[in-house]
Amino acid sequence: MPSVGRITRSLLVGVLHAAGLLGVALELGYAVGPAEYTAIGLLWRYGGLVVVAAVPVWLALRFRLVVPLLALVLTTGYVFGMELTPPGPTFHDVAEFERLDEPTGIIVVENGLYIVRYMMNASVWLVGFLFAGLVEAVSRSDWRRLPAPPGLPDWLSPPVSRRQAVSVAAAGGLLHLVVMVWFARRLGVTITGGYEWVLYASSTVGMWLLAAVPLYLLVRHRLVVPATLLTGFIVIDVRSEFAASVEDAHALYFGAWFVFLAIFLIGGLVEYGLRQVDSLRRMVSRRGNRH
């Protein structure tokens, strides 16, 4: 299948994905029509819904990677399910909660806005899908029981040089940094005492390290646990925004990044140790068979 054909098919699926979600959102009464946004806002929101679906589809067509596509299907299915099954979204004027005689015109939505939040946070979901694809690509390249993805680039196919691994880690860390800092700003993550600049300075470095270190270990040393944990925490982080809880998961992820980095490193050490034990066991087994 020519590359242009794959891109065209992927974009077509992305457009259908966006159209389906937006159609349901408009039917439910959400203010997500084109007139609600500026040109840039429209491109960001609508384009995000297209790209977040197009990329996993392209990865499936180009490299036969199934995990990002499966994650997309499950996420979109969850969003549709929550919007279309009882109790469904209900709209209330703030006056109902404040016991005011006159309506305020300020509307609160209960049991809804899943599509809106999915649209707003599409870039974060996309990062999770991309990292899931990297983990799958490396895993299938190294494990003989799984079919290797066809046509992987040199920087994913072993042996990977240190320079290539550093480049992948730096690029992945930068992507994670940009998206997660934007996510924190959008959610209004802050700290009391006037030290917000300290939080953002520290966490900006932390967001880069939090992705760069696991990705380097994944590509260079083929350790999949740190990058798998990274991907899992990203998905848990962004999924928590569906509930719009007072307890902000991203504030924890963003502010306590060093805790998560420690978890990733511990996971990598455990995986490395288990591999060494397995290698030693195989070596002893071979020597026993010779005698």
pLDDT at 160: 92
Question: Do 21 and 159 belong together in one domain?
Answer: no
Question: Do 97 and 194 belong together in one domain?
Answer: no
Question: Do 188 and 89 belong together in one domain?
Answer: no
Question: Do 171 and 62 belong together in one domain?
Answer: no
Q: Is residue 89 part of a domain?
A: yes
Q: What is the pLDDT along the chain (291 residues), one digit of tens a residue?
A: 568 999 999 999 999 999 999 999 999 989 999 999 999 999 999 999 999 999 999 999 999 999 999 999 999 999 999 999 888 776 655 556 566 666 666 666 666 799 999 999 999 999 999 999 999 999 999 888 888 999 999 999 888 999 999 999 999 999 999 999 999 999 989 887 778 889 999 999 999 999 999 999 999 999 999 999 999 999 999 999 887 665 678 999 999 999 999 999 999 999 999 999 988 887 777 766 665
Rounded CA-CA distance 238/207 in Å is 15
Q: Interior CA angle at 211 toward 205 and 212, to 5°?
A: 80
Question: Do 116 and 153 belong together in one domain?
Answer: no
Q: Is residue 276 part of a domain?
A: yes
Q: In the structure encoding, which two tokens stand for residue 117, read together?
A: 């939040």
Q: Is residue 127 part of a domain?
A: no
Domain of residue 267: give its range: 149-291
Question: Do 285 and 183 belong together in one domain?
Answer: yes
Question: Do 60 and 154 belong together in one domain?
Answer: no
pLDDT at 145: 84
pLDDT at 214: 98
Closest C-alpha among 165, 37, 187 to residue 117: 187
Q: Is residue 216 part of a domain?
A: yes
pLDDT at 225: 97
Single out the residue in 99, 120, 141 at which a domain terminates: 120
Tell me the DSSP string of the chain.
--HHHHHHHHHHHHHHHHHHHHHHHHHHT-S-SGGGS-HHHHHHHHHHHHHHHHHHHHHHHHH---HHHHHHHHHHHHHHHHHHSTT--EEEEHHHHHT-SS--S-EEEES--HHHHHHHTHHHHHHHHHHHHHHHHHHHHH-TTSPPPTT--TTTSSSPPHHHHHHHHHHHHHHHHHHHHHHHHHHT---TTS-HHHHHHHHHHHHHHHHHHHHHHHHHH---HHHHHHHHHHHHHHHGGGTT-SS-HHHHHHHTHHHHHHHHHHHHHHHHHHHHHHHHHHHHHHHHHH-
Q: Is residue 140 part of a domain?
A: no
Single out the residue in 101, 120, 139 at which a domain terminates: 120
Single out the residue in 120, 136, 169 at which a domain terminates: 120
Question: Do 182 and 287 belong together in one domain?
Answer: yes
Question: Do 154 and 111 belong together in one domain?
Answer: no
pLDDT at 44: 95
Q: Is residue 143 part of a domain?
A: no
Q: Is residue 291 part of a domain?
A: yes
pLDDT at 193: 76
Q: In the structure encoding, which two tokens stand for residue 231, read together?
A: 């991907």
Q: How many structural domains comprise the chain?
A: 2
Return the sign of the alpha-carbon dihedral for residues 192, 234, 24, 34.
Answer: positive
Question: Do 83 and 162 belong together in one domain?
Answer: no
Rounded to two decimals, the pTM is 0.90
Question: Do 196 and 271 belong together in one domain?
Answer: yes
pLDDT at 65: 97
Question: Do 97 and 173 belong together in one domain?
Answer: no
Bond from prior residue into 159 cis (ω within 30 degrees of 0): yes
